[in-house]
Amino acid sequence: MQPLIDFMETQTLQMRAMTAGKQDADTVVANDGLGLIRNIGIIAHIDAGKTTVTERILFYAGRLHRMGEVHEGTATMDWMEQERERGITITSAATTCHWRDHQINIIDTPGHVDFTVEVERSLRVLDGAVGVFCGVGGVQPQSETVWHQANRYDVPRIAYVNKMDRLGADFSAVLEEMREKLEAPVAAIQLPWGKEDSFCGVIDLLEMQGLLFDEDDLGTGFSIEPIPADLAVEAEVARAQLIERLADLDDVFMGLYLEQPDLSADVLRAAIRRATISGVLVPVLCGSALKNKAVQPLLDAVNFYLPSPLDISDRKGVNPKTGEIDVRRADVAAPLSALAFKVVHDSYVGKLQFVRIYSGVLKKGMSVYNPRTCKRERVTRLIRLHADNREDVDVLSAGEIGAVAGLKWFTTGDTLCVENAQIELDRIRFPEPVISMAIEPKTQADREKLADSINSLVEEDPTFSVRIDEETGQTIISGMGELHLEIITDRIFREYKVKANVGKPVVAYRETVSAANRATHVFDREIGGKRQFASVSVSVEPLKRSTGNEVAIDVRSDRIPAQFHSAIEEGLRDGLSTGTLRNDPIADVKVSVVDGDHEPEESTETAFRTAAIMAFREAVLGASPVILEPIMAVDVISPADHVGEVISDLNSRRAKITEMSNRGVFQVVKAEVPLSELFGYATAIRSLTKGRASYTMEPHFFRTVSEDIQNELIKW
Ligand code: GDP
50 touches ligand 1 (CB under 6 Å): yes
Can you name the residues that pair with 438 across neighbouring β-strands?
Answer: 476
Minimum-distance ligand 1 atom for the alpha carbon of 52? 7
Residue 656 has pLDDT above 90, yes or no: yes
pLDDT band at 131 (very low <50, low <70, confident <90, very high): very high
Residue 22 has pLDDT above 50, yes or no: no
The DSSP call for residue 5 is P
Task: Quote the CA–CA distance of 128 and 42 in Å, as a whole number.
Answer: 9
Closest CA to 111 of 42, 46, 41: 46
Q: Ligand 1 pocket test: which of 43, 45, 47 has the largest number of ligand atoms within 8 Å of its C-beta?
A: 47
595 touches ligand 1 (CB under 6 Å): no
pLDDT score, position 322:
86
Minimum-distance ligand 1 atom for the alpha carbon of 89? 4
Closest CA to 30 of 10, 16, 11: 16
What digits encode the pLDDT tens for the residues 643-654? 999 999 999 999
Minimum-distance ligand 1 atom for the alpha carbon of 88? 2
Region 262-284 average pLDDT: 95
Q: Whose CA is closest to atom 9 on ligand 1?
A: 49
Region 291-318 average pLDDT: 92
Minimum-distance ligand 1 atom for the alpha carbon of 53? 7
pLDDT band at 6 (very low <50, low <70, confident <90, very high): very low
Residue by residue, DSSP assigns 611-659 as HHHHHHHHHHHTS-EEEEEEEEEEEEEEEGGGHHHHHHHHHTTT-EEEE
Average pLDDT, the chain: 85
Q: Which of 82-91, 240-249, 610-619 has the lowest mean pLDDT?
A: 82-91
CB 19 within 8 A of CB 242: no
Task: Quote the CA–CA distance of 154 and 148 in Å, as a whole number.
Answer: 10
Q: Is 331 helix (H, G, I), strand (E, B) or coil?
A: coil
Please give the helix or strand (H or E) that residue 238 lies within, else none: helix 229-249
pLDDT score, position 115:
61
Minimum-distance ligand 1 atom for the alpha carbon of 71? 14
What digits encode the pLDDT tens for the residues 431-460? 788 899 999 999 999 999 999 999 888 887
Q: Is 449 helix (H, G, I), strand (E, B) or coil?
A: helix
Give residue 694 CA to ligand 1 midpoint distance, Å: 20
Residue 58 has pLDDT above 70, yes or no: yes
Give residue 288 CA to ligand 1 midpoint distance, Å: 9
pLDDT score, position 111:
55
CB 499 within 8 A of CB 442: yes
In the Cβ-directed half-sphere of 712, how many Cα atoms lie within 13 Å?
6
Closest CA to 414 of 341, 520, 359, 363: 341
48 touches ligand 1 (CB under 6 Å): yes
290 touches ligand 1 (CB under 6 Å): yes
CB 236 within 8 A of CB 220: no
pLDDT band at 17 (very low <50, low <70, confident <90, very high): very low
415 touches ligand 1 (CB under 6 Å): no
Minimum-distance ligand 1 atom for the alpha carbon of 48? 3
Q: Is 119 helix (H, G, I), strand (E, B) or coil?
A: helix
Task: Quote the CA–CA distance of 686 and 407 in Å, as a whole number.
Answer: 48
Q: Which of 264-268, 341-345, 365-369, 673-677 has the lowest mean pLDDT?
A: 341-345
The DSSP call for residue 496 is S
Minimum-distance ligand 1 atom for the alpha carbon of 44? 3
Q: Whose CA is closest to atom 5 on ligand 1?
A: 49
Give residue 69 CA to ligand 1 midpoint distance, Å: 9
Task: Quote the CA–CA distance of 628 and 218 in Å, as a whole number.
Answer: 55
Region 136-148 average pLDDT: 78
pLDDT band at 510 (very low <50, low <70, confident <90, very high): very high
Give residue 222 CA to ligand 1 midpoint distance, Å: 22
Give residue 48 CA to ligand 1 midpoint distance, Å: 6
51 touches ligand 1 (CB under 6 Å): yes
Amino acid in position 37: I
Give residue 439 CA to ligand 1 midpoint distance, Å: 36
pLDDT score, position 382:
93
Give residue 290 CA to ligand 1 midpoint distance, Å: 7
Question: For residue 409, how many other CB atoms are within 10 A of its CB?
Answer: 13
pLDDT band at 122 (very low <50, low <70, confident <90, very high): confident
Strands 530-542 and 589-597: antiparallel
pLDDT band at 384 (very low <50, low <70, confident <90, very high): confident
Give residue 289 CA to ligand 1 midpoint distance, Å: 8
87 touches ligand 1 (CB under 6 Å): yes
The dihedrals phi and psi of 167, each to the nearest 5 degrees, come to -60, 130
645 touches ligand 1 (CB under 6 Å): no
Percent of the chain scored above 90 by pLDDT?
51
CB 274 within 8 A of CB 283: no
pLDDT band at 264 (very low <50, low <70, confident <90, very high): very high
Q: Whose CA is closest to atom 6 on ligand 1?
A: 49
Give residue 487 CA to ligand 1 midpoint distance, Å: 22
CB 353 within 8 A of CB 404: yes
Can you name the residues that pair with 467 across neighbouring β-strands?
Answer: 476
Strands 395-397 and 315-318: unpaired
Give residue 130 CA to ligand 1 midpoint distance, Å: 16
Q: Is 445 helix (H, G, I), strand (E, B) or coil?
A: helix
Minimum-distance ligand 1 atom for the alpha carbon of 45? 3
The DSSP call for residue 664 is T
pLDDT score, position 342:
81
163 touches ligand 1 (CB under 6 Å): yes
Give residue 540 CA to ligand 1 midpoint distance, Å: 54
Q: Ligand 1 pocket test: which of 195, 200, 290 has the largest number of ligand atoms within 8 Å of its C-beta?
A: 290
Question: For residue 519, how many other CB atoms are within 10 A of its CB?
Answer: 19
pLDDT score, position 243:
95
pLDDT score, position 71:
47
CB 580 within 8 A of CB 714: no
Give residue 25 CA to ligand 1 midpoint distance, Å: 46
Minimum-distance ligand 1 atom for the alpha carbon of 69? 16
- Alpha-helix runs per DSSP H in 250-278: 251-259, 265-277
Region 657-683 average pLDDT: 87
Percent of the chain scored above 70 by pLDDT?
87
Q: Which of 83-92, 382-391, 407-416, 550-559 has the lowest mean pLDDT?
A: 83-92
Q: Which of 174-183, 659-668, 683-692 has the lowest mean pLDDT?
A: 659-668
Give residue 191 CA to ligand 1 midpoint distance, Å: 20
End-to-end CA distance of the chain: 73
pLDDT score, position 219:
64
165 touches ligand 1 (CB under 6 Å): yes
Task: Quote the CA–CA distance of 503 and 501 in Å, as a whole number.
Answer: 7
CB 442 within 8 A of CB 449: no
Please give the helix or strand (H or E) that residue 370 lies within, else none: strand 367-370
pLDDT band at 347 (very low <50, low <70, confident <90, very high): low
289 touches ligand 1 (CB under 6 Å): yes
What digits encode the pLDDT tens for the residues 682-692? 888 888 888 78
More reliable by pLDDT, 373 or 664: 373
The b-or-e profile of 600-630 (16+ CB within 10 A means b, else e) is eeebbbebbbbbbbbbbbbbbebbebbbbbb
pTM of the full predicted structure? 0.70
Residue 110 has pLDDT above 80, yes or no: no
pLDDT band at 352 (very low <50, low <70, confident <90, very high): confident
pLDDT score, position 664:
65
Q: Which of 81-90, 402-411, 504-513, 518-527 has the lowest mean pLDDT?
A: 81-90
Amino acid in position 492: I
Give residue 49 CA to ligand 1 midpoint distance, Å: 4
**CA distance readout (Å), 578 to 459, 503, 571, 607:** 21, 20, 11, 20
49 touches ligand 1 (CB under 6 Å): yes
74 touches ligand 1 (CB under 6 Å): no
Length of the chain: 716
Closest CA to 695 of 630, 643, 631: 643
The DSSP call for residue 291 is T
357 touches ligand 1 (CB under 6 Å): no
CB 662 within 8 A of CB 691: no
297 touches ligand 1 (CB under 6 Å): no
Q: Spell out the residues 6+ positions from residue 296 whose beta carbon is closer than 8 angstroms to its own.
A: 4, 60, 219, 222
Task: Quote the CA–CA distance of 500 and 454 in Å, as a whole number.
Answer: 12
73 touches ligand 1 (CB under 6 Å): no
pLDDT score, position 456:
86
Q: Spell out the residues 6+ positions from residue 439 whose beta carbon is closer than 8 angstroms to its own.
A: 450, 474, 475, 476, 477, 489, 492, 500, 501, 502, 503
Q: Is 248 helix (H, G, I), strand (E, B) or coil?
A: helix
Give residue 15 CA to ligand 1 midpoint distance, Å: 38
162 touches ligand 1 (CB under 6 Å): yes
- Greatest mean pLDDT among 10-24, 33-47, 222-236, 343-357 lies in 222-236
Q: Is 450 helix (H, G, I), strand (E, B) or coil?
A: helix
